[in-house]
Each structure stands twice: as structure tokens, then as C-alpha cells.
Amino acid sequence: MKGISLRNGNDNGIPFLFSFATSSSASAITLVRQKICEPDNVMYATVMNGLGKRGHTQKTLSLLRLMEQGNTKPDIFIYSIVVDALCKDGNLDAAISLLNEMKQRDIPPNIVTYSSIIDDGPCKEGKVEDAKEVMKHMVEKGVEPNIITYNAIINGYCLSGELDRARRIFDSLIDKGIEPSIISYNILINGYRKKKELAKAMQLFCEISQKGSNPSTVTYNTILQGLFEVDRIGSAREIYAEMLSTGRFLIYTLMEMAVRGFSLDATATTFLVDIVRDNPSVLDMIPELHLENKK
């Protein structure tokens, strides 16, 4: 049987890999071993990334093992995809084991690999000291932490309720020559909101504009939710006016707050009614109303 070459732009490898992902791996392994069908790294990465994001961790890992048996060997990008999938699936031990396997194969982990372990591993469980040990090991290997790494550490401290430590890491970024991102601000603002420390949250919120950046929709959502929680409706109105001036709209904020489990009490409902009364155009942004008008 003539071999199928998939290294020169032929995209038949994508369906093949999806077929493998949804069927028996034995036949696919046979095809690869016999060089009948062997996708390239880009095709593997595309499918494995998609599977990982959809929670099919074992299939992602199986594709890695399939690659190892063929001529297309996995590289750092492939391994990072699998490590990330394992971490997001809560299987940190398997991710660490794969990290050690990479070292044995002389494939040094990069910033993406380490960040996956730090962010989706110990930090999500509030075990920041464990995460800092991973970061220390990373630095020893010559891989410098970036803003994603530090955001994970800040988030870990916020999850464990250690806001002072989170703030110290945040403040130290400038000294390290790293500019805090809007995600950095959002993480810390949300941490203060959960602790009902609205004054500190508002201080950070104002600092965003002072630094020449713009709050994101997530920033506005978090601040407004915090203001509603402590019945600071006047301040919420001011933030709402600012949202309108930047083209962001409160209707999505209230919808997201509801998704998060924040109930709209009488005060918040009155607030929403006032907004619709003063700015009826916000109703045009509700998809359900658009569908109703088309009927």
C-alpha cells in the first residue's frame, strides 16, 4: 500500500487524528508504524490542543504516545499542550511525571510548560508556597517568570485569602521590569472584593486609568458587583456612567453577575429599571429582545 504523505500541506491528517481520537487507538498506531498515515507536528498540535480544551485529556495523552511511536516526534509545544491538559484536569502528579519524562528526553520545559503547572496546579488550590518552589526551580533552569507566572502566584494568594502577600507580589513587578497587565489588576481587585475591602479595590481601579490603561469589562463587572454587595449604589452609578463613555454596557455586567450567583435584590433591580428608563437603547443589546422583534 502506498504511504500517504501529510507533510506538504495535505490536510488529510486532521480527519485521521479525529478518527483516532474517537475510535480504537490500535488501528491508528498500526497505520503510523507502517508509515501509511503520519500527520506532522502542526496537525498533531491542532487536534491535541482542541481535545485538551474540551476535556479529553486521556485522548490527548494517547496522541502523544502515538507520536512517540512514529517518525514525527513530539516537541516542546506538543508536550506543553499535554501538560496543560493534565493540569486543567486536576492530574498534577501526571503532569509532573511528564515534566520529568521531558527532561529524560532532553526536551527542557519552557515558560508555557512551567506556567501551566504553576497556574493550574498548586495555585488553584491555594498552595502558593509549592508554586513558588516550582518557580524557583524554573529560574534555576534559566527560564525567567513572565507576567502569566506572576499572575498565577497573585491569584493563588488571593484564593488563600493572603491579600497582603498578593499585593507585595503585585508591587514587586515594576522592580522586576514587568508591567502589571489588566489581568493582574482584575485578579487583585476581585480578591479585595471578596474580602469586602472595597476601598483598596477602588484604589486599584482608579490606578488603571492613571497608568494610561483601560479597565476591561471584567474589571467593571468586578467593581460593580462589589459596590452592589455593600449597597454603594451612588458609586455604582458613577462607574456605570464611565462604562457608557467607554462603550461598555451594564446590561452584560448584570447578566454576568446573575451567572456568578449574585442575586438582584430590590436595590439592584431599581437601579436597573432607572438605567433602562434613562437609557432605553440598552434594551437593543439583549439578544432575546432582538429575536422577539423579528418574529
Write out pLDDT tens, residues 222-259: 998 898 888 888 888 888 777 776 655 555 555 555 55
> In 160-216, where does DSSP find H-type helix?
163-175, 182-194, 198-210
pLDDT of residue 272: 60
Q: What is the pLDDT of residues 182-203, one digit of tens each?
A: 999 999 999 999 999 999 999 9
pLDDT of residue 9: 42
pLDDT of residue 7: 41
pLDDT of residue 165: 93
pLDDT band, very low/low/confident/very high, at 4 (cuts 50, 70, 90): very low
Residue 27 falls inside a structural domain: no
pLDDT band, very low/low/confident/very high, at 214 (cuts 50, 70, 90): confident
pLDDT of residue 292: 43
Residue 251 falls inside a structural domain: yes
What's the mean pLDDT in 12-32? Answer: 50
Residue 221 falls inside a structural domain: yes
Greater confidence (9 vs 284) lies with 284
- On the question of pLDDT at 293 being above 50, the answer is no
- On the question of pLDDT at 205 being above 80, the answer is yes
User: Using CA atoms in the order 43, 114, 53, 124, what is the torsion angle rounded to 10 degrees?
Assistant: 180
pLDDT of residue 129: 82
User: Which among 266, 159, 77, 157 is positioned nearest to 170, based on CA atoms?
Assistant: 157
Residue 240 falls inside a structural domain: yes
Residue 119 falls inside a structural domain: no
Residue 288 falls inside a structural domain: yes
What's the mean pLDDT in 32-52? Answer: 73
What's the chain's Rg over C-alpha atoms? Answer: 24
| Minimum mean pLDDT range among 42-51, 56-65, 81-90, 207-216 | 42-51
Residue 239 falls inside a structural domain: yes
- On the question of pLDDT at 212 being above 90, the answer is no
pLDDT of residue 51: 83
How many structural domains does the chain have? Answer: 1
Range of 294's domain? 214-295
pLDDT of residue 186: 96
What's the mean pLDDT in 70-84? Answer: 89
Model pTM?
0.68
pLDDT of residue 45: 84
- On the question of pLDDT at 134 being above 50, the answer is yes
Q: How far is CA 144 from CA 111, 141, 164, in A?
A: 7, 9, 24
- On the question of pLDDT at 76 being above 60, the answer is yes
What is the average pLDDT value for the chain, to the nearest integer?
77
Greater confidence (151 vs 130) lies with 151
- On the question of pLDDT at 125 being above 50, the answer is yes
What's the mean pLDDT in 63-88? Answer: 88
Residue 227 falls inside a structural domain: yes
CA 126 to chain centre: 17
pLDDT of residue 190: 96
What's the mean pLDDT in 1-7? Answer: 37
Q: How far is CA 57 from CA 3, 21, 64, in A?
A: 29, 11, 11
What's the mean pLDDT in 139-167? Answer: 91
User: Which among 116, 104, 122, 37 is positioned nearest to 80, based on CA atoms?
Assistant: 116
Cell numbers for 212:
494610561
What percent of the chain has a predicted confidence (pLDDT) above 90?
A: 24
